[in-house]
Structure 1
Amino acid sequence: MPNVICPCGVSVPKGTRCDCSERRAKAREKQLDAERGSAASRGYDSKWRRESQVWLAALGEPLCACGCGRKANMVDHRVAAKGDEKLFWDRKNWQPYHTICNTRKAIREEGGFGRKPKVLQ
């Protein structure tokens, strides 16, 4: 298999990554995490865990709102609060979700893995 030239000038086998690429990717991920803030700083603290679990338990054993048939194990915001505390705590904005489906939804709507965020109309 032929080699390719990394932007740093190193020749690497096609389909592999140069060490500098790994370092850049890790640095970028660290930067994005720092910009985003911790889960607790975004409101996902012990109060959120308690309130969301009470709300979910009150629904019985709900299925994921995406329609996949999985049992919901978390609460998702229909519209991402993005710092809006009123929207964050508005229970009409909550829906039962499964963790896997929530991750897929976040990647699709908010961007991830090189995807651009979906433009909401």
Structure 2
Amino acid sequence: MERFKNDIERLISVRFDDVDALNEQLHTHLGEPTRQGLRDERIAERGMLGDLEVRNIKLRSAADDPAHANLIFEVALPSIALEEIIWEDSIVNPPHPDAPGSRPYWSAQVNGAKVVLGLAADNVTLTYVSIRQR
């Protein structure tokens, strides 16, 4: 768990408009940006974050300000179990009762970024990560 926490904190320390640094951290190659309305999106099929294989990596940024971005990726199985608070002030959010298929997730503010750690139906297995920098 400590290694995962450190890997996420290292990833957060990279400016999301520095695509080369993100590629290095995630051991991947984010493609060229495509315009999606008012935002740009870069995609990579797979990579690694520490010992975890990650897939469906997306970097979405404001077209007029690439530093304001959201990095989203799925964590391939076998994943890790998140059974305890990773960062102070982390909040576990239950599934939304009005949204079929909704899953629980952890959310936290970490070094100025919002981190969301999505969980599987078992409420502990990490399935996706979303990091928003502003």
TM-score range, shorter chain: under 0.3
| TM-score, scaled to structure 1 | 0.27
Greater relative CO, 1 or 2 (CA 8 Å, sep 6+): 2
Give 1 or 2: higher strand fraction.
2
Larger radius of gyration: 1
Give 1 or 2: higher helix fraction.
1
